[in-house]
Amino acid sequence: MMEDVIRRLLVEIGEDPDREGLAKTPARVAESYRFLTSGYAQDPAAIVGDAVFSEECNHMIIVRDIEVFSLCEHHMLPFFGRCHIGYIPKGRVFGVSKLARLVDCFARRLQLQERLTQQIARTVKDSIDAEGVGVIIEARHLCMMMRGVQKQNSRMVTSAVLGSFHHSAATRNEFLALVRQELP
């Protein structure tokens, strides 16, 4: 049981798990980890479900600034930031909230930011057979900020470009420009 493991961890770091402030901590931490890793129990195809709509549309669609929170698989410390997704459909588009739900599905697993970026891009492309997909994640990693090199202002940026976003510099540059564009 996860609560027993957390209780043992508290003992190992020199704490008294029975003291007032920690008495319920094993249960709270177990509940937190169940939520933070709930993506393992989710099926990306089920998330997309029937929220794909026929639409004769072949222009770029972008959802920017999707908040992303995940746990680094190396230290099990959080990383957090923003995800930007762009795609060019071939007759089928997503219900817009499904993109944010896909981000959460993959982010709520122990992750590497590089893998997370690729998983999102591949799922978006494959779910609707998109002409092209681009995904950028900008994140701060507490494993780098709180321990190790302790660089509090560092950010990691990863991208995955598939299809026309990969093959066409013009398409890729349009995506990058629109992601960077300041909105009124």
Active-site option among 15, 42, 75, 118: 75
Cα-based angle 41, 146, 143 (whole degrees, multiple of 5): 40
Q: Is 83 a catalytic residue?
A: no
167 in active site = no
Q: Is 72 a catalytic residue?
A: yes
- For residue 118, indicate whether it is catalytic: no
Catalytic residue among 31, 55, 73, 114: 73
How many domains in the chain?
Answer: 2
Q: 147 and 86, same structural domain?
A: yes
- 131 shares its domain with 72: yes
| DSSP 8-state symbol, 181 | P
CA 103 vs. chain centroid, Å, equals: 4
70 and 16 in one domain?
Answer: no
What pLDDT is attached to residue 184?
65
Same structural domain, 32 and 53: no
For residue 127, which phi and psi values (nearest 5 degrees)? -65, -35
Choose, from 55, 74, 114, 167, the residue flagged as catalytic.
74
DSSP 110: E
Same domain, 64 and 102: yes
Give a yes or no: residue 59 inside a domain: yes
CA-CA distance, 66 to 87, in Å (whole number)? 15
Residue 73 belongs to a domain: yes
Name the stretches of the chain with pLDDT < 70. Answer: 183-184
Among 72, 105, 111, 131, the one annotated catalytic: 72
8 A C-beta contact, residue 70 and residue 108: yes
Per-residue pLDDT of 36-69, as tens digits, reads 999 999 999 999 988 889 888 889 999 999 999 9
Q: Are both 58 and 9 inside the same structural domain?
A: no
- Do 161 and 77 fall within a single domain? yes
Same domain, 91 and 137: yes
Give the integer Cα–Cα distance in Å for 3 and 26: 5
Are 88 and 55 contacting, i.e. CB atoms less than 8 angstroms apart? Answer: no
| 42 found inside a domain | no
Helix (H) or strand (E) holding 33: helix 25-36
pLDDT confidence of residue 147: 84
**Are 31 and 57 contained in the same domain?**
no
What's the CA gap between 166 and 133, in Å, rounded? 8
pLDDT of residue 28: 97
166 among known catalytic residues:
no
Query: Are 25 and 66 found together in one domain?
Result: no
Q: Per the domain annotation, does 28 fall within a domain?
A: yes
CATH number, residue 99: 3.30.1130.10
Total-model pTM: 0.93
Q: Is 62 part of a structural domain of the chain?
A: yes
Residue 67 lies in a domain: yes
Q: Give me the catalytic one of 113, 119, 131, 174.
A: 113
Residue 43 in any domain: the answer is no
The pLDDT of residue 183: 67
155 lies in a domain? Answer: yes
Looking at the structure, tell me whether residues 133 and 93 fall in a common domain: yes
Domain of 56 in residue numbering reads as 49-180
| Residue 155, both tokens | 């950010």
**Are 57 and 137 within one domain?**
yes
